[in-house]
Structures are given as structure tokens and as C-alpha cells.
A and B are shown apart, each in its own frame.
Chain A
Amino acid sequence: ETGVTQSPTHLIKTRGQQVTLRCSSQSGHNTVSWYQQALGQGPQFIFQYYREEENGRGNFPPRFSGLQFPNYSSELNVNALELDDSALYLCASSKVIPGLAGGPGDTQYFGPGTRLTVL
């Protein structure tokens, strides 16, 4: 069984640039969530994708956008990068079963993360 993978591992960008981060979900999972983790803090929820549509969003501006593909992989795009966007970006996948919210399938399994540095 393949776990959650993310690419790239590290990335350095300058202010104003755009970045795309990629995530492959764990085999059998249909839902992908993205989190931002600043140094010394817990992860903050950005958004979740289910059936290729956004299924909930945290307190992040529209310049954070995403996609989910038919194979359940996902991308996180950030436009007009700011210095405060420097963080570890984590992707998590889960197997949501409609009508069975709260079950063990909701457990989110995380990838290794992408470290983004904005200069």
C-alpha cells in the first residue's frame, strides 16, 4: 500500500511569484486536505477536496487555490507569494464514506510535507 507522497520536498521562491505543490493520496483514499504549518505552531486547515470539488475551506485568502484530479491526487496553488507564506505545507488523505461521517475512514494520513521558503 502506497502512502501519501508530496513534491517537491523543498522550494524557494521570491515575493510575488506563484507556486504549485503536488500531493498523491494514499491508495484507496478519495479525499485530500491541505494544511499550512508555520514554525512552532500546529497545522492550520487550508481546504479539502472530495470528488474533485472543494469541500470546505479555512481562513485563507483566494490566492490559495487547489485542484483534485480523477485519480484523487491534488495540487495546491499559491499566487502572489508573501513572506508569511513561508511554512511547511502538509497534504493529508482520507477515505470518506458518504453518510458515515465520523467513522474510522475519516482518519487523515499525512504526507512528508513541502517546505516553502519565500524570500
Chain B
Amino acid sequence: SQELEQSPQSLIVQEGKNLTINCTSSKTLYGLYWYKQKYGEGLIFLMMLQKGGEEKSHEKITAKLDEKKQQSSLHITASQPSHAGIYLCGADNDYKLSFGAGTTVTVRA
């Protein structure tokens, strides 16, 4: 089975600073999804990456999939309180998603 490891497990960032979250897969990624979750709530879709070397951006969030398709990163520029939450990466395994344990982001004013 495919396993995803996220790092760090949690981080605290000062408002306005940048942050990066990593997601490493035990197998080749054929589709990598990033979601955001507020504690105890549903997942909000952020971005999907498929091609090696692919990079996508939405507002201040950029996600990349490395050339070998075994690692992805999520970068937030100039963090805001609205960026606080749990970020989850999910690997596409045919009909299902296999998720990492998540990275908890706290933004301090």
C-alpha cells in the first residue's frame, strides 16, 4: 500500500512569514492532492498535481510535484490568520485517496 509522510507534523509561523510543508510518498505518485481542514470539519480542496515537475499556484499557495513524482511541497507566502489549519496531502490510488497524517499550521499575529 502507498504511504505518505508529511513534515513537519506541526509548525507555528509569524503572520507575514513564509512556510513550507513536505509530503513524501513510498511509491510513485500518479496524482497528488492537497487539502486544508479546519479542526473537526471537512476537507477543502486546494490543488491537484499529476505531472513530474508540475507547479500550481492559487493566491498565496504554491504546490510542486518533483520530477521523480515521489515528493510534493506546499508553500505559503506571507502567511495570514486565514491560512491556519491542518494541511493534508492525498495520493490517488485508482478509486481511493491515501492520506498523510497532516500538518497543523498555527499563524501568530
Interface of chain B, helix or strand or loop or mixed?
Answer: strand
Given A40-B101, A42-B88, is A110 in contact with B43 using a C-beta cutoff of 8 Å? yes
Q: List A contacts of B30 (CB < 8 A).
A: 102
Interface size class of B (residues with CB under 8 A): 20 to 34
Contact A113 B101 (CB under 8 A): no
A–B pairs, 20, beta carbons within 8 Å: A6-B42, A35-B97, A40-B101, A41-B102, A42-B90, A42-B99, A42-B101, A43-B43, A43-B90, A45-B98, A55-B95, A56-B95, A56-B96, A58-B96, A88-B40, A106-B92, A108-B45, A110-B35, A113-B42, A115-B40
The answer to whether B40 and A48 touch across the interface, beta carbons within 8 angstroms, is no
Decide yes or no whether B85 CB sits under 8 A from chain A: no
Q: What is the number of contacts between chain A and chain B, taking CB atoms within 8 Å?
A: 65
The residues of A with any CB-CB pair to B shorter than 8 Å are 4, 6, 33, 35, 40-45, 48, 50, 55-56, 58, 88, 90, 92, 101-102, 104, 106-113, 115
A90–B92 contact, CB under 8 A?
no
Interfacial residues, chain B to chain A (CB-CB below 8 A):
4, 30-31, 33, 35, 40-45, 48, 50, 88, 90, 92, 94-102
* Besides A41-B102, A110-B44, A115-B40, 5 new A-B residue pairs in contact (Cβ under 8 A), listed by A number: A42-B88, A42-B99, A42-B101, A43-B90, A112-B42
Other-chain residue from B41, B50, B88 in contact with A113 (beta carbon distance below 8 A): B41
Shortest distance between the CB of A57 and any CB in chain B (Å): 9
Pair B41/A107 contact, Cβ less than 8 Å = no
